[in-house]
Copies of this chain bind each other. A is one copy, B any other.
Amino acid sequence: MAGHITGESPIQREPGIANLMSSHKQVLAHAEAQCADKGTKLTQKRKTVLQGLLQTQQAMSAYELADYCRDELGESMPPMSVYRILEFLEGEQLVHKLKLANRFVACVHITCDHKHAVPQFLICEQCHRVSEVSIKESTLRALRNNVETAGFKLASPQIELNCVCDTCAVAG
């Protein structure tokens, strides 16, 4: 019953920890204000979970997040609470669930005020690093066309792709 974070590959934090910390503070403040506007509350626990996702910069499972919050952020966090909190954060569009990986990521657009484009998630199968990029309108239209011709509708415009990141590709 050791930690849930698989040790396969280290977590990458390019811009230096200190900068990230302070930028996370801003993101959290923004998220809190956004919730307040909508009449919901970003409680301490919810903030901690979101902070975990912001800091690790990885797609995390609920159980991994529970461990991370307890061990690194000093906040006791039963996994079932994490699931509930993630559900809340998803509803607030602060977090995305990646079905392809059964993991969760912080939305990279929390501090943007404009409407988000359709996200395209590139998920490294090996280290779970995630890149959230925007899909071109024309590409999305082509996909949607395929879908509707087949008698389906896109349930969520979000697109997830099985990838390998360059770092793992080199290492592999």
Given contacts A125-B155, A136-B142, A139-B142, contact A147 B162 (CB under 8 A): no
Copies in the complex: 2
A64-72, A74-82, A85-93, A163-171 - interface stretch: A163-171
Bound state CA distance, A147 and B169, in angstroms? 14
Find residues 117-160 in chain A having any chain B CB closer than 8 Å to their own CB.
120, 122, 124-125, 131, 133, 135-136, 138-139, 142-143, 146-147, 149-156, 158-160
Contacts A120-B143, A122-B152 known; list 9 others, CB within 8 Å: A99-B99, A99-B101, A100-B160, A122-B146, A133-B150, A147-B161, A153-B165, A154-B163, A155-B164
Q: List 6 A-B contacts (CB under 8 A).
A: A99-B99, A99-B101, A100-B160, A152-B163, A153-B166, A155-B162
